Structures are given as C-alpha cells and as structure tokens.
C-alpha cells in the first residue's frame, strides 16, 4: 500500500509539472520558449500575465482541495465542502463588504473573517451528539448561504460602481491576477503546512471522539484549529479568485477512493489533484471559453458529481 500511494503521489507530481509547462504556453496567444526569449511582447505576456495566473490557480486549487479534505475529515462525511457548507459564501460576503465600504482595502482580512464566521456557525448548527449529520450539515450550509445571499443582494443593489467587482468575486476567476496576488496566495502554503501537521490527529479522530481522547488528542482544540485554518485558506483563496465551488468536494472524494482514508497521504494527493483540476479549468476558460469564469466550469463538473454522491448515499 505504501509503495502504491507513493507511486500515485509521484505520478500526480509529474502530471502537475507537465501541466505547468503546457498551460503557461496556452491561451488567446500561444507562446513558445523561443518567442518568450526573443520577443519582448511574448516575454511580457509570459512573466507579467500568464505565469502569475498559473501559479495563483495552482495555489488556490491546492488550498481549496486541502480545506475540503480537512472539513470532510472533521465532519466525518464526504459531502462537506467549503462551497456547499457556506464557507465560500461567507468569504464572498466579507470581500463584498470590503469592496463597498473600503474600496477593497484589507480584502483578504474581511474574506477570512467572513469564512470563519460561516464555518463556525454551520458547525455549531450541525453538531448533534458529537457528530454533524450530513442532512443537518447541508441544510445549515444552504440556509446560511441564503442568508448571506440576502446581504450580498443588498450590497450589490447599493454598490454603484463597485457592482462589477462584486460580480467578479461571485463568479470566480483569475482575470486580473498579478504578482501581488501571488504573494498573498503564498499564505495558503502556511495554512496547508499547519493542517498537514495535524493529519495524524485527524486520523485518530476518525476512530471516534472518545477513542481520540483516550489516545491523547485534545479533540475540541483540534476542531478549532482545523476550522480556523480551513477558513483561513478559503478566505485567502476567495480574496484572490472569488468563490470557486466544488474543488474541495470532488478532489478529496476521488483521491480517497484511490489512496484510502489516511490523511497523511490523502492531504498531499488531494492538494496536487486540486491544483491540477483548477489549473486546467482556468486554462480551458482562457483558451477555449472566451474567458468564461472558472467558477462556472467547476460548477458544471461539480454539480453533477454532487448529485451523484447524494443519489449513492440515498441508495446506501
């Protein structure tokens, strides 16, 4: 099993490296190594537009996939996802408040606060006897998302010139990514490292809270840490790319089928798979879909997958 999982992760890394080399050359203007080195315009497109966009998509994909994996492990069900349970909606609302009231000042901070408030609220509403039943979790997330949507509608109604910018966050995309956004996105790496440090404790938690306590895990502290840093990652991701859904639902579920439930392996494999998914979704958006919002593409893939999971759970 260890050799198989190592092979899977190595294969994913090779695919990611190959995808990076391919996707930076794709777009409305095709680039080659010769053109980048010889033509000033091609070099500017590569270094100032294409490369930061590709890196940002990679980091956001990694972060959303890892946040989804952590939430699924914490809630003990495969239906949890930053988009579905309202975390992304909370982050979008925080970003919208920053845009309307402060002109976008401290946008990542507001996005994180919104994500944290949404996540902890859904968690408290869904908890029943130490567990978060999938029905309660989904209903709580939907209810909270609708509540936040009412606020968003009000902000959009009163936004004036900021309306277009708010719509950008709601649809999700990498149109205006710059190197300054990439530096902010690097904070996702910090959150990912901290979450991975608790992968063993999350494995123990999957045995049950009482068993975890007997094995020396501070369960309540672990829950707060996982929720806090999952919200941190989603807040940073939304502040950069807007609300991109289903990355945190699809990739952890698929990788769990391939590598198993051990979070020490599931975390890195999901991160790489999430980066691959979002990287190619953005490449398709800019190359073949006339800059369609990436959130539309991921939803086209993710919504049917979510329905499939619901149908399978009903038959179980």
Per residue in 218-231, pLDDT tens? 888 888 888 889 88
Q: At what angle do helices 247-259 and 263-287 cross, to 10 degrees?
A: 130
What are the φ/ψ torsions at residue 210 (nearest 5 degrees)? Answer: -65, -45
Nearest residue to 218 (alpha-carbon basis) of 209, 206, 230, 227: 209
Note the Cα 76 to chain centre separation in Å: 19
User: Could you give all domains of the chain from N- to C-terminal order, each with its CATH number?
Assistant: 59-286 (1.10.3470.10)
DSSP letter string over 237-248? HHHHH----SHH
Q: Is there a contact between 68 and 249 (Cβ–Cβ < 8 Å)?
A: yes
Per residue in 169-217, pLDDT tens? 777 888 888 898 899 999 999 999 999 999 999 999 888 878 888 888 8
pLDDT confidence of residue 165: 76
Q: At what angle do helices 247-259 and 51-75 cross, to 10 degrees?
A: 70
**Number of alpha carbons in the 13 Å side-chain half-sphere of residue 309:** 20
Q: pTM, whole model, 2 decimals?
A: 0.88
Per residue in 90-99, pLDDT tens? 888 888 888 8
């Amino acid at each position: 099993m260890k050799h198989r999982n190592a092979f899977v992760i190595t294969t994913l890394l090779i695919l990611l490296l190959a995808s990076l080399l391919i996707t930076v050359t794709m777009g409305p203007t095709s680039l080659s190594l010769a053109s980048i080195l010889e033509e000033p315009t091609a070099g500017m497109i590569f270094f100032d537009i294409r490369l930061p966009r590709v890196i940002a998509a990679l980091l956001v994909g990694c972060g959303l996939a890892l946040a989804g994996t952590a939430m699924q492990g914490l809630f003990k069900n495969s239906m949890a996802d930053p988009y579905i349970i309202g975390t992304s909606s909370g982050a979008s609302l925080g970003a919208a408040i920053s845009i309307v009231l402060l002109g976008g000042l401290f946008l990542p901070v507001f996005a994180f606060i919104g994500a944290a408030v949404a996540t902890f609220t859904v968690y408290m509403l869904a908890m029943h006897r130490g567990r978060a039943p999938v029905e309660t979790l989904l209903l709580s997330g939907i209810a909270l998302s609708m509540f936040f949507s009412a606020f968003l509608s009000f902000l959009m109604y009163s936004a004036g010139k900021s309306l277009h910018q708010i719509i950008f966050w709601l649809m999700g995309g990498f149109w205006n990514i710059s190197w300054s956004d990439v530096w902010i996105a690097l904070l996702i790496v910090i959150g990912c490292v901290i979450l991975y440090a608790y992968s063993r404790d999350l494995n123990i938690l999957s045995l049950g809270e009482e068993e975890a306590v007997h094995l020396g895990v501070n369960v309540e502290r672990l829950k707060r840490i996982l929720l806090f840093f999952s919200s941190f990652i989603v807040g940073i991701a939304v502040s950069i790319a807007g609300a991109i859904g289903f990355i945190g639902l699809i990739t952890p579920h698929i990788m769990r089928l391939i590598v198993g439930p051990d979070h020490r392996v599931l975390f890195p494999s999901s991160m790489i798979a999430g980066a691959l998914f979002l990287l190619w979704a953005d490449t398709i958006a800019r190359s073949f879909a006339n800059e369609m919002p990436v959130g539309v593409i991921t939803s086209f893939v993710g919504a049917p997958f979510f329905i499939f999971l619901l149908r399978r759970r009903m038959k179980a």
